[in-house]
């Protein structure tokens, strides 16, 4: 059964290893590891993985769950797909798949089909490149210095001129609706409203597959073999599909992610060809943004692997603008950014071909801090020595200064700029004070539970045959009225924990996401050992004290009312009850 299978996968899976493939984790206590949250953008780590209980929790965005939830969210897949992914990662053989709803099954089938289509298309394009029709394309690639190994590594192919050859190849694999959804074809809507026949989107083009993080091909970018109006744009990309969202993908991340982790920095270039050349030159921690500035989603994706980047964009105006935008986004997310400007105004691909990999490596080592690069850029843009030009240069730099999260770094950047631009530094400091004031570090406080509440939540989360659980359960039965006065969400959680099946995971037994978040927060915030029975007794005493104090306040209010309305019997009863409450309070102390 699928459920049993998921359970057995979960028992065998190591959450630290699975999450660690996406998040850089550091040890933070006996059971906890922390890192930058992959689900929201942040500068200081608030994401925790708890090894003992095999779950994760983020103090920033409160995302929480187990190894399956993690894969579901990060890979954007359904639960069965997540179970499968984890099983594959752990080398557990798969049973037949089952889905919770027909829609889910259909969606998953569609996705699998689209991936299959892309895989077949890739192989077919590769085959076309080797065919006689691919001769011109092969010539072009050889001219760009690409070896057969390089072509094979990046699975570069050729889309022939034919309008229908790819469709003919894929027709037996999927119906026309699925083919249309693949983005591999174009079609012209007909007068009768029908979508019209499918024809190849990519024709007479060299094809570069674009893979997702796990190496599955999900789109293509295709370079025209000929120039001129008839050939269309130089590069043509797949449209966005259910597999492919342009701003969410970094070209080559599937191959580069391990080298990036090892080198602890990523080299960022503009185009796929640059990326391929650099990789084949032996610098394998390289990624391409696909000719545009970075998106926030890409920054977040990258931050799972490193927070250090060297940017090497084309030196033309478009490249410089893209570089500035990327620097802005990256520094805002606390990345350490360096910039390479290659001598002779060359792009990485040509630089490597003309001067070799060794020289390119040397250029990378000489990369300058982004602050220095930007100050030089400001001087290039506003070269005059007039006060007006200096102010313009400063205004160009200020947004970049403001973006840096560290106050010290901002100060340093500003005084560097002041010195190099020859600006009166008092003026800069004034500007900077404002800039600094506008920054704020967002810190989300953990939900304020008392120590007693935390201990009781922990105790009732323990195995039901443990001593700690039995102590807690006995106290609960004895003082149910006091427990009933606890804050509502904690009380609800305790009720659900107490009624769960013995083998059930405490987090999974809670139905409300808010409850799961609260409990997960307790597990990761209480460092060290589980509470002991005497801690539970103290916690119960605290809960009872709070409850009794509340009871006393209520009774006193009722007493006043009874005295005011002149009801002596009630006054007597209430007085006795107040004394009783006071006696119990004294006993507790
Ligand atoms: Zn988060």
How much distance in Å is there from the Cα of 284 to the middle of ligand 1? 30
pLDDT band at 528 (very low <50, low <70, confident <90, very high): very low
- Beta 55-58 vs 185-186: how paired, if at all? unpaired
Evaluated on CA atoms 214, 220, 221, 224, the torsion sign reads: positive
How much distance in Å is there from the Cα of 58 to the middle of ligand 1? 5
pLDDT of residue 485: 86
- Whether the pLDDT of residue 83 is over 80: the answer is yes
- Which of the 8 DSSP states describes residue 198? -
Contact 447, 487 (CB under 8 A): no
How much distance in Å is there from the Cα of 432 to the middle of ligand 1? 30
How much distance in Å is there from the Cα of 186 to the middle of ligand 1? 40
* Residue that is written with structure tokens 């192919």 in the block: 157
pLDDT of residue 105: 78
How much distance in Å is there from the Cα of 405 to the middle of ligand 1? 18
SS3 at position 32: strand
Q: What is the pTM of this model?
A: 0.61
Average the pLDDT over each of 161-165, 305-309, 500-504 and give the range with the smallest value. Answer: 500-504
pLDDT band at 522 (very low <50, low <70, confident <90, very high): confident
Q: Which residues contact 58 (CB under 8 A, 6 or more apart)?
A: 37, 39, 40, 46, 47, 48, 64
How much distance in Å is there from the Cα of 328 to the middle of ligand 1? 22
How much distance in Å is there from the Cα of 59 to the middle of ligand 1? 7
Per-residue burial over 403-432, b = 16 or more CB atoms within 10 Å of its CB, e = otherwise: bbeeeebbeebbebbbebbebeeeebeebb
How much distance in Å is there from the Cα of 35 to the middle of ligand 1? 10
Evaluated on CA atoms 117, 120, 125, 128, the torsion sign reads: negative
Average the pLDDT over each of 258-272, 338-352, 426-440 and give the range with the smallest value. Answer: 426-440
Q: What angle do CA 63, 65, 66 make, to 5 degrees?
A: 145
How much distance in Å is there from the Cα of 48 to the middle of ligand 1? 9
- Whether the pLDDT of residue 10 is over 60: the answer is yes
How much distance in Å is there from the Cα of 62 to the middle of ligand 1? 6
pLDDT of residue 128: 97
* Closest residue by Cα to residue 173 from 189, 184, 160: 184
pLDDT of residue 393: 82
Exposure on the CB side of residue 111, measured as CA atoms within 13 A: 16
114: left (phi over 0), alpha (psi -120 to 50) or beta: alpha
How much distance in Å is there from the Cα of 23 to the middle of ligand 1? 12
Tens digit of each residue's pLDDT (9 = 90 or more) over 334-374: 889 999 988 888 889 999 999 999 999 999 999 999 999 99
pLDDT of residue 204: 95
Q: Tell which wins on pLDDT, 304 or 10.
A: 10
* Closest residue by Cα to residue 160 from 120, 128, 198: 128
Q: Tell which wins on pLDDT, 13 or 222.
A: 222
How much distance in Å is there from the Cα of 295 to the middle of ligand 1? 18
- Here the tokens at position 140 are 């072009």
Give whole-number Cα distances, 239 to 183, 185, 320, 368, 386, in Å: 6, 10, 26, 36, 48
- Here the tokens at position 185 are 């074809």
Q: Tell which wins on pLDDT, 423 or 436.
A: 423
How much distance in Å is there from the Cα of 500 to the middle of ligand 1? 28
How much distance in Å is there from the Cα of 322 to the middle of ligand 1? 28
Tens digit of each residue's pLDDT (9 = 90 or more) over 546-581: 888 888 888 988 898 888 888 888 899 999 999 998
Q: What angle do CA 357, 363, 367 make, to 5 degrees?
A: 140
Exposure on the CB side of residue 60, measured as CA atoms within 13 A: 18
- Whether the pLDDT of residue 440 is over 60: the answer is no
Per-residue pLDDT, averaged over 263-272, amounts to 90
Contact 405, 43 (CB under 8 A): yes
* Residue that is written with structure tokens 């005295």 in the block: 563
* Closest residue by Cα to residue 137 from 165, 121, 159: 159
Mean pLDDT of the chain: 86
pLDDT band at 443 (very low <50, low <70, confident <90, very high): very low
How much distance in Å is there from the Cα of 41 to the middle of ligand 1? 7
- Whether the pLDDT of residue 525 is over 70: the answer is no
* Residue that is written with structure tokens 């050729």 in the block: 158
pLDDT of residue 2: 53
How much distance in Å is there from the Cα of 394 to the middle of ligand 1? 35
How much distance in Å is there from the Cα of 518 to the middle of ligand 1? 14
Contact 211, 290 (CB under 8 A): no
How much distance in Å is there from the Cα of 46 to the middle of ligand 1? 7
Give whole-number Cα distances, 488 to 446, 457, 526, 546, in Å: 17, 13, 21, 14
- Here the tokens at position 510 are 């809670």
- Here the tokens at position 161 are 């001129």
Q: What are phi and psi of 222, to 5 degrees?
A: -135, 130
Residues paired with residue 64 on neighbouring β-strands, in sequence order:
57
How much distance in Å is there from the Cα of 16 to the middle of ligand 1? 17
* Closest residue by Cα to residue 560 from 550, 570, 548: 570
How much distance in Å is there from the Cα of 63 to the middle of ligand 1? 6
Contact 459, 472 (CB under 8 A): yes
pLDDT of residue 437: 55
Q: Which residues contact 175 (CB under 8 A, 6 or more apart)?
A: none
How much distance in Å is there from the Cα of 57 to the middle of ligand 1? 8
How much distance in Å is there from the Cα of 64 to the middle of ligand 1? 9
Tell me the C-alpha distance between 472 and 62, whole Å. Answer: 27
Q: Tell which wins on pLDDT, 107 or 579.
A: 579
Q: What is the Rg, in whole angstroms, of the alpha carbon atoms belonging to the chain?
A: 31
- Here the tokens at position 523 are 């597990």
SS3 at position 409: helix
- Whether the pLDDT of residue 480 is over 70: the answer is yes
* Closest residue by Cα to residue 204 from 229, 190, 222, 189: 222
Q: Tell which wins on pLDDT, 224 or 28.
A: 224
- Beta 368-369 vs 336-339: how paired, if at all? antiparallel
How much distance in Å is there from the Cα of 301 to the middle of ligand 1? 13
SS3 at position 138: helix
How much distance in Å is there from the Cα of 474 to the middle of ligand 1? 37
- Whether the pLDDT of residue 82 is over 70: the answer is yes
How much distance in Å is there from the Cα of 39 to the middle of ligand 1? 5
pLDDT of residue 471: 93
- Which of the 8 DSSP states describes residue 211? E
* Closest residue by Cα to residue 335 from 298, 377, 284: 298
Neighbours of ion ligand 1 (CB under 5 A): 37, 39-40, 58, 60-61
- Here the tokens at position 296 are 């926030």
């Amino acid at each position: 059964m699928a459920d049993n299978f998921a359970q057995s996968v979960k028992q065998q899976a190591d959450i630290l290893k699975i999450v660690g493939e996406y998040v850089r984790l550091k040890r933070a206590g006996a059971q906890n590891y922390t890192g930058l949250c992959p689900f929201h953008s942040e500068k200081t780590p608030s994401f925790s993985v708890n090894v003992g209980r095999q779950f994760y929790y983020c103090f920033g965005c409160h995302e929480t769950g187990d190894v399956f939830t993690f894969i579901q969210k990060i890979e954007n897949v359904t639960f069965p797909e997540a179970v499968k992914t984890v099983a594959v990662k752990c080398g557990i053989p798969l049973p037949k798949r089952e889905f919770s709803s027909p829609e889910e099954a259909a969606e998953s089938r569609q996705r699998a089909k689209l991936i299959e289509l892309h895989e077949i298309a890739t192989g077919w394009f590769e085959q076309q490149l080797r065919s006689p029709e691919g001769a011109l394309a092969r010539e072009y690639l050889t001219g760009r210095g690409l070896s057969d190994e390089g072509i094979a590594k990046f699975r570069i192919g050729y889309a022939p001129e034919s309008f229908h050859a790819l469709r003919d190849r894929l027709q037996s694999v999927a119906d026309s609706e699925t083919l249309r959804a693949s983005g591999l074809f174009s079609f012209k809507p007909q007068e009768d409203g029908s979508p019209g026949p499918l024809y190849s989107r990519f024709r007479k083009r060299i094809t570069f597959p674009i893979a997702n993080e796990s190496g599955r091909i999900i789109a293509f970018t295709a370079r025209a073999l000929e120039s001129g109006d008839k050939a269309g744009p130089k590069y043509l990309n797949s449209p966005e599909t259910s597999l492919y969202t342009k701003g969410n993908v970094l070209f080559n991340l599937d191959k580069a992610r391990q080298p990036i982790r090892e080198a602890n920095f990523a080299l960022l270039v503009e185009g796929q060809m640059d990326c391929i050349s650099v990789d084949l030159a032996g610098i394998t921690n390289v990624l391409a943004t696909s000719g545009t500035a970075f998106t926030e989603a890409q920054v977040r994706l990258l931050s799972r692997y490193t927070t250090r980047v060297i940017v090497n964009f084309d030196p033309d105006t478009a490249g410089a603008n893209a570089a500035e935008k990327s620097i802005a986004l990256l520094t805002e997310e606390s990345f350490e950014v360096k910039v390479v400007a290659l001598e002779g105004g060359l792009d990485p691909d040509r630089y490597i071909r003309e001067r070799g990999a060794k020289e390119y490596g040397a250029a990378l080592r000489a990369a300058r801090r982004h602050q220095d690069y930007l100050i030089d850029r400001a001087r290039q843009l506003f070269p005059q020595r007039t006060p007006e030009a200096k102010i313009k240069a400063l205004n160009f730099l200020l947004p970049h200064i403001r973006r840096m999260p560290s106050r010290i770094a901002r100060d340093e950047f500003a005084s560097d700029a002041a010195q190099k631009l020859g600006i009166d530094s008092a003026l800069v400091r004034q500007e900077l004070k404002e800039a600094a004031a506008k920054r704020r570090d967002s810190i989300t406080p953990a939900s304020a539970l008392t120590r007693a509440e935390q201990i009781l939540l922990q105790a009732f989360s323990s195995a039901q045959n443990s001593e700690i659980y039995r102590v807690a359960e006995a106290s609960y039965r004895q003082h149910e009225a006091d427990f009933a006065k606890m804050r509502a969400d904690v009380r609800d959680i305790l009720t659900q924990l107490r009624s769960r099946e013995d083998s059930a995971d405490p987090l999974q037994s809670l139905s409300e996401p808010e409850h799961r978040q609260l409990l997960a927060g307790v597990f990761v915030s209480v460092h060290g050992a589980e509470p002991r029975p005497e801690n539970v007794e103290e916690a119960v005493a605290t809960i009872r004290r709070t409850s009794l104090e509340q009871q006393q306040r209520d009774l006193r209010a009722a007493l006043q009312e009874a005295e005011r309305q002149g009801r002596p019997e009630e006054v007597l009863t209430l007085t006795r009850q107040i004394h009783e409450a006071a006696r119990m309070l004294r006993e507790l102390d």
